[in-house]
Amino acid sequence: MNHRLLFACFALAFCFPLKAQQNWLDLTQATFESAVRLDGTWHFYWQELIKSEAEALSKPTLVNVPHDWYDEKPADTAAYFPKHGFATYALNIILPKNRPDLGLEISQIFSAYHLIVNGKLTYQSGQVAQSRHEYTPYREPKVHRIDASASDTLRILIQAANYDHFNSGIHYSLKLGNYEQQQKGLTSKQSTNMFLAGGLFITGFILLSFSLAFRQLALQVPFYALFSLSLMYRMVGSEPYALHTLLNHFNYYLAIKLEYGTIHTAALFGGLFIFFLYPKQSAKWVRVVFYSITALSLLIVLLFPPVVFTATLKYYLFFIITYVGVFIYILFKAKMAQEYTSGYLIAALAIVLIWTVFQATTFLDYGSVPHAFNVVLVTGIIIACNLALFRTLLLKVNQTKMAEAEMDFQRSRQTMLSLISHEIKMPVATLQMNMEIMKASINNTEKFDEIKEKLIRISAESVESIKRMLNDFLYFMSTKKEINDSIAMAEMGTFLAENWSLKLVLKESAQGKDNLYLTEKLALKYIINTLIINAQKYSDEQDERPELILSQVNEDMLLEIRDYGIGISADQLSNLGKPQAKINQDQEVSGMGYYLANELAKRLGHHIWVISRGKEGTSVFIQMKRK
């Protein structure tokens, strides 16, 4: 009797070997309007690559998917499974009779897998093998079409192998649903990421070009450009891996180093951008700690295998979350110190902080963030950062240009001071000489009567020269920008006729015009007189005398000082407007007339240019804008 009972037990165990072990998921009530996560209990066959559970050599371990298999242990031992190795997962599903075409979405399984459905090999991601030498890792999100037309039962087996990653096995949820919806959703995610990556690429490319054009912006612009390019790769080279879809069989080891490396480069260049933009608000030790930790973590990515840097990344993510807070603090300090900054930049870093926290949350398996929300955050980062950068750099450009203009102005003031202080010696010396002559002539009235008119004339000319120099000096040295004096066309003709005994030509366009033109008459007199002296200096006695031609071009007054002298060479023409001070044998300054006239004209808002007429002489033009 006991033998019969024992035989019956063996017979039942042989005929129904999987009865107690089979794992069934009942989806008969599912409508698949939304995808069903295949989370829950799966059979797990360690160190076995089987195509059906009937081939299993050992009893399965029951595991809760998703998971890392090294967190599990066999029922008969206290030791956990190792990180590296191979195994097979198994799940049986009962489907409803009325169902759409089904698709199984697998984002990635670490680090290679084969999908077997109802005994048929459906897909291979890399090469699953029992040794590292024969195995090939690969990752690419896929929606696998499930052929379940012949049966209402799905027997899913997934062979997996991992020798490279810190995570192992089915780490992310598998989703079963309507194939078209699943495929459309995956394509939409990848397309959206490609679009955002395009925006980041354009931003990075343009800003690199911008940094070459405006070198005075130092390194802030290229740092931000490289930050954008790093984020660009993150959008295409990480989940949902749009780049892997475009490039079939993209090398796994290159891809994973780029994926993890760009986390570090984005953080590095973003930090450099903040530190270089606001150096006064960035403590040295804060910079040193940031550079050191980031460089160390990046070197780990570059020099060590994936199993090392995929394990250490979580610590670096915590570090970056802390430093995003530091960056926001630096921005607030800059704002309080009235540095050139923008609320957009603060908003952008706040979004970066949120995005980084969510990225770390997903990576550390504390939760998942909807892809749409991730897209909104990245879009916000792009928009806010670009608005902030445009505003900040525009302010920086203006600040730099203002500083350069102030330096040029100070140099011009110093040059003007030196020249006038030297030139004023001549009329002062003349007055001193006249005073000595008058003293010597006190007792000789006849001699004094002979020279008094000449002395008075020379003294008056010297005083007039000193007055003109002082006026020009005071005007040139002042910071006053407004010009309150004005002159009409007819008044200009009278002004020229009264001050210079040269031929004056009033063109028809200048006659009968009552437009007013802003100027300073004393400074204008100095400018015109200087240009006339130059015209006379380069004319011989046999040449025609210089003449003045007054006309109106559009709304502007145009005065031409035309001479018929020896002309001006191309070299001389190219050096006009540059200070070329020389002291002649009479201890007078020469070579500075046109320079001073041109500088004063700029202060008045006038424009001077010179045209050589070859052997026929030279024409100098003064253009005055209408009031």
- Residue 123 sits in a domain of what CATH number? 2.60.120.260
Same domain, 217 and 343: yes
Q: Using an 8 Å Cβ cutoff, are 594 and 577 in contact?
A: yes
Same domain, 525 and 600: yes
Note down the domain range covering 613: 482-624
Q: Which of 181, 202, 226 is the last residue of a domain?
A: 181
Residue 334 has pLDDT above 70, yes or no: yes
Query: Which residue in the block uniquely carries the two structure tokens 């998921």?
Result: 25
Count other Cβ atoms within 10 Å, centred on residue 373: 12
Cα separation, 60 vs 48, whole angstroms: 10
Instruction: Give the model's pLDDT for residue 18.
Output: 34
Same domain, 232 and 353: yes
Closest CA to 472 of 460, 484, 464: 464
Same domain, 247 and 164: no
Same domain, 522 and 580: yes
Cα separation, 254 vs 249, whole angstroms: 11
pLDDT tens digits, one per residue of 437-480? 777 777 777 767 777 777 777 787 777 777 666 666 665 555 55
Domain count of the fold of the chain: 3
Residue 485 has pLDDT above 80, yes or no: no
Cα separation, 104 vs 480, whole angstroms: 76
Same domain, 154 and 42: yes
Same domain, 141 and 203: no
User: By mean pLDDT, which of 33-42, 66-75, 295-304, 471-480 is the weakest?
Assistant: 471-480
Helices of type H across 337-370: 343-363
pLDDT tier at 409 (50, 70, 90 boundaries)? low
Q: What value, to the nearest 5°, has the Cα angle with vertex 96 and ends 92 and 100?
A: 105
Phi, psi of 488 (to 5 degrees): -90, 170
Determine, yes or no, domain membership for 496: yes
Strands 36-37 and 547-553: unpaired
Closest CA to 347 of 333, 322, 327, 361: 327
* CA 21 to chain centroid: 59
Instruction: Give the model's pLDDT for residue 8.
Output: 41
Determine, yes or no, domain membership for 100: yes
Mean pLDDT of the chain: 82
Instruction: Give the model's pLDDT for residue 6.
Output: 42
Same domain, 511 and 608: yes
pLDDT above 70 covers a percentage of the chain that reads 81
pLDDT tens digits, one per residue of 353-368? 777 777 777 776 677 7
Looking at residues 555-578, what average pLDDT do you find?
80
Residue 123 has pLDDT above 90, yes or no: yes
Residue 51 has pLDDT above 80, yes or no: yes
Same domain, 211 and 360: yes
Same domain, 229 and 84: no
Strands 486-488 and 516-518: antiparallel
Instruction: Give the model's pLDDT for residue 408.
Output: 66
Determine, yes or no, domain membership for 403: no
Query: Which residue in the block uniquely carries the two structure tokens 């190219």?
Result: 574
Instruction: Give the model's pLDDT for residue 16.
Output: 36
Query: Which residue in the block uniquely carries the two structure tokens 């011009």?
Result: 412
Q: Which of 349, 374, 395 is the last residue of a domain?
A: 395
User: Beta partners for 104?
Assistant: 144, 176
